[in-house]
Amino acid sequence: MSERLECIVCGRKFYRAQGVRLNAAGIELAFHSKACALKFVRSLLEHVEPGALRRGVSETLAEFREARKKLEELRAKTI
């Protein structure tokens, strides 16, 4: 029988192959839907120290911008 998890936001039970699972700082987080995951992340961002959050957001933005830039370069080179 498949393992069932419980959403940490709404309490719904769901099978391991469903839902959204994240591992943050060594803590396994299980959400039954992306809406619950987003609700948790929004609350988490409000509790993080502003300096650490600013640094993390800047690094993440740089990472995604670089990935988009590389993708655009690959698309542009295709003839």
What pLDDT digit, counting tens, does each position of 10-45 carry? 999 999 889 999 998 899 999 999 999 999 999 999
- pLDDT band of residue 60 (cuts 50, 70, 90) is very high
Separation CA 13–CA 11 (nearest Å): 6
Would you state the pLDDT for residue 75? Answer: 85
On the question of pLDDT at 1 being above 60, the answer is no
Number of helices (H), then strands (E), in the chain:
2, 4
- pLDDT band of residue 79 (cuts 50, 70, 90) is low
Structure tokens at 57: 């957001």
Closest residue by Cα to residue 28 from 38, 18, 36, 20: 20
Structure tokens at 7: 């959403």
Structure tokens at 73: 């370069």
Greater confidence, 78 or 52?
Answer: 52
R_g (Cα) of the chain, nearest Å: 17
